[in-house]
Chain A
Amino acid sequence: MIPYVKSKLKTFVGGIHPREDGKHLTRDTKEIAAPLPKTVYLLMNQHIGAPCKPIVKKGDFVKKGQLVGESQGFVSANIHASISGKVLDVAPWPHPVTGTKSPAVIIERADDDSWIEGADVPFDPDQITPDQIRQLVQSAGIVGLGGATFPTHVKLTPPRDKTIDTVVMNGAECEPYLTCDYRLMLDKPHEIIQGLKLVMKCIGCKNAHIGIEANKEDVYALFKSIVSDEPNIKVDLLEVKYPQGAEHQLIKALLHREFKPKQLPLEVGAIVINVATAFSIYEAVRFKRPLIQRIITVTGDGVEKPQNFLVRLGTPVKSLLEEAMASPHINKIIFGGPMMGIAQSNRDTAVTVKGTGGILALRSAQQFRSRACIRCGRCIEHCPYGLNPGELSIQSEAQEFNLAQENNVMECKECGCCTYICPAKRPIVHLIKFAKVEIAKQTAKKAASAG
């Protein structure tokens, strides 16, 4: 319970241990390819940064792997057709993360499922130059698959004045219920290590550090045996704690480097790559396959057969739930894990995006009555970023956004530890989100009036 008890395993200060992590539901299910969906809905903003521009129109015939959304600007990622078929429409569709409608390319599946010419050709990665890797990653539209969906080629292009000495690979998978990374690590360990080596080659750094949570000891042993003759790649067991897989926490735990406010991982000389991202980098470089599918955990007490699925992008959630034998008593569907996931408003229109690692279907939708803050300070103890979430939530409630900004509210990554632990059941993360949005609005307004 007390966060600063010294553990033998590497970890960070703060964080929480959810009592039941629900991972047992899907731990032992080998991932199976979900049946190809009849229709896919490819949203044009599946990443952080500028939305893509649709380059196909209604009635066009597209092949699997064909570019349908062209990235606009450097911080943006291409979107490719995940099935072959006819473009039914290019129309707004509800986005599962933002909740508002965004442009989407809707494709109806045809019978053949072959790659477009030029994709899926083996390529020898030994001869490749760093620039080629970067270019292949960029054209494949790879984003951080841990959930943040930051375009990976931007990460692979650190500013000239910064030196990166270590690539940290995130195999923690700290979010309860999700086992998609675990299954991937068990089934494709060599490919993941290859992907990691490509990243190291790309940014020209010698060392790598892999962090795996202690509840995945089989993966730890497997990785350890693979990299046994490579002293520059270290593998370490981490304490089972949420949010162990967050960039800052992983670097703190593995490399013992501390962050100043507003610092990014690259400013302390490290970049963090998720295992699923490393795997898709390998696929993109070795076989020139764009990112069109990923492993998704469909789990929770609302489905009879919790399962890991290999899912094409833009698959309607309804078909996945049917495949996992959803019960009729589902009251809540969450994209991602229970801590940081986004609850869905409409099960009929929800479609998967690049950042979707899990679909959690729950029978119970608890409603809490929040009370006034009792100043117990538990949120401070558990905040992995060293903030005072309770105070920030009070300031946001009183609409003192400037005060909240002075107290570094923008440093909050909305991991949800404070809300989980709060005995008064205060909606702390929601209040902090509210303050962040309002501060962003004020800053935009100031920037607009300044010029």
Chain B
Amino acid sequence: MDFILGATITLGILGMIFGIGLAIASDTFAVKVDPRIDSINEILPGANCGACNQPGCNGFAQAVVEGKALVSDCSVGQATVAQRIANIMGVTFEKRERSISVVMCHARGVKDKFTYDGIKDCRAANIIGGGFLGCDYGCLGFGTCVEACKFEAMYMGKDGLPKVIEDRCTGCGKCAVVCPRNIISMVPESKRVHVRCKSLDKGAVARKTCQDSCIACKQCEKKCPYDAIHVQNNLAVIDYNKCTSCGKCVEVCPNHTIINFAREKSRSMSTILA
């Protein structure tokens, strides 16, 4: 009996000493965490996509509290999350327009330069002989961008080109980063007219390689009432700050390179359902 009692008392005293020690230690060595970091972290989407250029969502929460990032920098959470973070931080924020990714290639009838038999990844294919595609600027079509999308907002269409489901796109820009040919651009959502070509080849060469290429005829440049589209290095480029998506250039484009996505959207939705 004495034996049990002795053990219990010893353990009890030991437990008490350790308990007090731990209690003191947790108080004196406590790491002071700003409570705002935790509450911001709860609001964030938690995808750790890295679109904000911070190491994950926790990193972003810290950066916001330290003033290194803006409350509206989380492109995934968009305005709702930004508003809630702004409430916690006690600041106002400027509402920014959502950017979505647009695939700037519409390759049709492009022949291959050679038989490619290697790794099924656009980045790996692009380093072998400058890419197997007849066009040096066009989409290689292995879907590296689709793999990179963490929000399932992209899929490979039946025509071999990646498609963006605009409702799901968060504008994180991961697809644009992985594309070895810089075909994907991040464009404000309200801009609906895009030049779907990246070819810098001269008109005649470009037309030979692809039916839908920009041939630098400058028709769009002449027609644009807002001075928003210009041909640079054999390619029409839209200045989205000036563009109003009026669609005048779409009408005159002889090769149907410039496309009005307002009309295109319904079609792409139907292909998803089909």
Q: Which residues of A contact B (CB under 8 A)?
A: 94-95, 98-101, 342-346, 365, 367-368, 397, 427, 430-431, 433-434, 437-438
Contacts and interface: CB of A to CB of B under 8 A. Distances in A.
Interface SS of chain B: loop
B123 A434 contact: yes
A101 B128 CA distance: 14
Contacts of A434: 119, 121, 123-124, 127
Given A99-B113, A345-B113, A434-B124, 9 more contacts: A94-B130, A99-B129, A344-B129, A368-B117, A397-B119, A430-B124, A434-B123, A437-B123, A438-B123
A344 B132 CA distance: 11
Contacts of B127: 433-434, 437
B69 to A, nearest CB: 15
B209 to A, nearest CB: 12
Given A101-B136, A345-B113, A346-B113, A427 B130 contact: no
B49 to A, nearest CB: 15
A431 B117 contact: no
B131 A99 contact: yes
A396 B234 CA distance: 36
Q: Which of B115, B119, B132 has the most CB of A within 10 A?
A: B119
A431 B124 contact: yes
A438 to B, nearest CB: 7
12 contacts: A99-B113, A100-B130, A100-B136, A345-B113, A345-B129, A345-B132, A430-B119, A430-B124, A433-B124, A434-B121, A437-B123, A438-B123
A427 B136 contact: no
A401 to B, nearest CB: 11
Contact of A431 (B119, B129, B130, B131): B119
Contacts of B12: none
B18 interface: no
A407 to B, nearest CB: 19
A99 B114 CA distance: 11
Contact of B118 (A344, A427, A438): A427
A276 B130 CA distance: 29
A430 B123 CA distance: 11
A430 B128 contact: yes
A273 B195 CA distance: 51
Interface string B64-106: 0000000000000000000000000000000000000000000
Contact of B130 (A98, A365, A397, A438): A98
B173 to A, nearest CB: 13
Nearest to A445: B177
A440 B121 CA distance: 17
A444 B115 CA distance: 31
A98 B118 CA distance: 16
Contact of B128 (A94, A99, A367, A438): A99
A101 B114 CA distance: 16
Contacts of A346: 113-114
A437 B114 CA distance: 22
A111 B112 CA distance: 39
A438 B127 CA distance: 10
Interface in B121-161: 121, 123-124, 127-132, 136
Contacts of A345: 113-114, 129, 132
A343 B121 contact: no
Nearest to A346: B113
Contacts of A438: 123
A70 to B, nearest CB: 24
Nearest to A438: B123
Contacts of A101: 136
Nearest to B127: A437
A433 B127 CA distance: 8
A249 B131 CA distance: 32
Contacts of A397: 119
Contacts of A343: 114, 129
B129 A342 contact: yes
A345 B132 CA distance: 8
Q: Which of B113, B115, B129 has the most CB of A within 10 A?
A: B129
A299 B118 CA distance: 25
Contacts of A437: 123, 127
A367 B117 contact: yes
Contacts of B121: 434
Q: Which of A99, A368, A433 has the most CB of B within 10 A?
A: A99
Contacts of B113: 99, 345-346
A402 B157 CA distance: 32
B47 to A, nearest CB: 18
Q: Which of B113, B123, B127 has the most CB of A within 10 A?
A: B127
Nearest to B112: A345
B84 to A, nearest CB: 29
A344 B115 CA distance: 11
Contacts of B136: 100-101
Contacts of B119: 397, 427, 430-431, 434
A295 to B, nearest CB: 25
